[in-house]
Amino acid sequence: MKKNLRLISRIDVKNNFVIKGIQLEGLRKVGDPLLTAKKYYEEGIDEILFIDAVASLYERNNLFKIIENASKHIFVPLTIGGGIRTLDDIEHSLDSGADKIAINTQAIKNPDFITEASRVYGSQAIIGSIEAKKRGNSWEAYIDSGREETGIDAINWAKKLEFLGAGELLITSIDRDGTKKGYDIELIQLISNSVSIPVISSGGAGCPEDIISLSSETDTSGVAVGSILHYDDYSIRQIKAKMINNNFNVRK
Amino acid sequence: MKKVCVLDYGIGNLKSLYNAFKILDTTPVLTSDHKKIKDSDFLILPGVGAFANAMEKLKKIHLDEAIYHFIDQGKPFMGICLGMQMLFEYSEEFGVTDGLGLIKGNVIKIPSKNKKIRLPNIGWNKIIKSNTELSNNSILRNIRSEDYVYFIHSYCCKPQTNENVIANTVYEGVKLCASVQKNNIVGLQFHPEKSGKVGFEILKNFIKN
């Protein structure tokens, strides 16, 4: 039986620009969020994540307008993340055209927020987002776009997020983000084995082979890519062809 | 221009449906106003989240009655995702809750074959059309059996008979009902407004009905 796999574009946004850094730092402008998203939609991307890279830091979210415009042209699932703190923020996100809301910092600060949010809007709309960094033999969850450590074990936190009501997890390896060195397979393996909700893996994709290694060795449901599309290293068509050739069930 | 009414009862993202119907040269309205519902040519019942919560919200403002009335007039009606599940007699999600009872059958948790499966089913699955006269003339008429559409659900419809089923899908080896049609009533378990060009074709067929 072929395993389902989604190819997801991750668009990190700062002040209305698509930005890309390395290990969530040294952010560089690489394009316009709406034009970038439209291009990926036309080329057949399965889903798009818009993440406000600095929202938690400044306690604001610039993405509502971007999502509102995106939803006029793009008809695949859209996720918003970064700086979502209240039920009003979620309501505003859904009204703007987002389907799913990724929550990291506020979940750590107030875990009940995940339960409340999934009760009101359904767990299918709530993605528990974890930014993890390796410390010795374990991984620690970070907040504020990888700037603040929390002392919380990322694997335990993943289980907790499922228990609290998240319908899906977005796991970002801070160590691998923007490095093009491949996903943190060990981290994804441990987390996907610990939960029974879908897991989206993010951070490190440098070539289609990285997606194949990750998806063969773990039970990831979706793979997020940033740099390799932003820098035109590979096209969506090329990446999907590789996935299909390796026997994954992928939307053509 | 044709008026498409999308029922707004405080559930989920309705923007994408609104935007899709705009592109399709119709006049979409997001509303729960009974007069506006009555005046429209097409009616859509969207829905995400929990069954009981959605039914409660629907009944609270008597939208169930508005739906029955609209359907009695013979005008095209479509339930999407949870909106399709609500067409059935009852759901087993967190205890038993009555649905609209328009199609015989019930709603159950997605069953697993042998192993534990990941839920919700979030992602793109193939449409497998039932090769019936109904299916071939349905809103899926020009959709190929290999086309992919976007699903996001943990519960699925279990129709009492296959007579209303126009398409199925397979998730983790388990066959699931993807779409039903009964006279002027259509149900889609997947999200046409999130299924790219294929989804647009389906919406286009619906407003041609």
Residues of chain B found within 8 Å of residue A42, distances taken between Cβ atoms: none
Summarize pLDDT for A145-185 with one digit per residue, the tens: 888 999 999 999 999 999 999 999 999 999 999 999 999 99
Q: How far apart are CA B101 and CA B90, in angstroms?
A: 7
Confidence of residue B209 (pLDDT cuts 50, 70, 90): low
Using DSSP's 3-state secondary structure scheme, residue A154 falls into helix
pLDDT for residue B11 is more than 90: no
Enclosing domain of residue A186: 3-249
Element at B98 (helix H, strand E): strand B97-98
Under a CB-based contact definition with an 8 Å cutoff, are residues B42 and B3 in contact? yes
Under a CB-based contact definition with an 8 Å cutoff, are residues A59 and A28 in contact? no
CATH of the domain at A215: 3.20.20.70
Summarize pLDDT for A53-91 with one digit per residue, the tens: 887 666 666 789 999 999 999 999 999 999 999 999 999
pLDDT for residue B174 is more than 80: yes
Selected catalytic residue, list B5, B93, B193, B201 = B193
A41 → chain B, closest CA residue = B196
Summarize pLDDT for A104-139 with one digit per residue, the tens: 999 999 999 999 999 889 999 999 999 999 999 999
pLDDT for residue B52 is more than 90: yes
Under a CB-based contact definition with an 8 Å cutoff, are residues A192 and A158 in contact? no
Using DSSP's 3-state secondary structure scheme, residue A23 falls into coil
Judged by CB atoms closer than 8 Å, whether chains meet at B124 and A251 is answered as yes
ipTM for the predicted complex: 0.95
Query: So what's the pLDDT on residue A15?
Result: 83
Averaged pLDDT, B34-58: 95
- Residues sharing a CB contact under 8 Å with residue B39, sequence separation 6 or more, in sequence order: B3
Averaged pLDDT, B94-123: 93
Residues of chain A found within 8 Å of residue B116, distances taken between Cβ atoms: 196
Residue from B137, B121, B117, B133 nearest B178 by CA: B121
Burial letters for B105-126: b for 16+ Cβ neighbours within 10 Å, e otherwise? Answer: bbbeebeeeeeeebbbbbbbbb
Query: So what's the pLDDT on residue A61?
Result: 65
Active site residue B81: yes
Residues A47, A20, A42: CA angle, nearest 5 degrees: 35
- Residues sharing a CB contact under 8 Å with residue B53, sequence separation 6 or more, in sequence order: none
Active site residue B156: no
Query: So what's the pLDDT on residue B13?
Result: 86
Query: So what's the pLDDT on residue A136?
Result: 94
Domains of chain B: 3-208 (3.40.50.880)
Residue A111 is classified by DSSP as: T
Sign of CA pseudo-dihedral B14, B17, B21, B24:
positive
Under a CB-based contact definition with an 8 Å cutoff, are residues B76 and B67 in contact? no
Calculate Rg over the CA atoms of chain B. Answer: 16
CA–CA min distance A108, chain B (Å):
23
Under a CB-based contact definition with an 8 Å cutoff, are residues B107 and B51 in contact? yes
Selected catalytic residue, list B156, B157, B177, B191 = B191
- Residue at A117: amino acid letter: A
Summarize pLDDT for A14-44 with one digit per residue, the tens: 888 999 888 888 888 999 999 999 999 999 9
Q: Are strands B155-159 and B103-109 parallel, antiparallel or unpaired?
A: antiparallel
Selected catalytic residue, list B5, B81, B156, B177 = B81
Residues of chain B found within 8 Å of residue A76, distances taken between Cβ atoms: 150, 194-196
Residues of chain B found within 8 Å of residue A97, distances taken between Cβ atoms: 13, 15-16, 19
Whether the bond into B120 is cis, omega within 30 of 0:
yes
Averaged pLDDT, A222-249: 97
Counting the structural domains of chain A, the total is 1
Instruction: Please tell me the total number of residues recorded for chain A in this structure.
Output: 252
Averaged pLDDT, A100-104: 97
Judged by CB atoms closer than 8 Å, whether chains meet at B116 and A123 is answered as no
pLDDT for residue B101 is more than 70: yes
Q: How far apart are CA B26 and CA B3, in angstroms?
A: 6
Confidence of residue B128 (pLDDT cuts 50, 70, 90): very high
CA–CA min distance A167, chain B (Å):
7
B21 → chain A, closest CA residue = A72
Beta strands across the sheet bearing B42-45: B27-31, B3-7, B42-45, B77-80, B185-188, B174-182, B165-171, B128-129
**Is the CB of B172 inside 8 Å of chain A's CB atoms?**
yes
Q: How far apart are CA B15 and CA A101, in angstroms?
A: 15
Averaged pLDDT, A199-219: 98
Summarize pLDDT for B131-162 with one digit per residue, the tens: 889 999 999 999 998 899 999 999 999 999 99
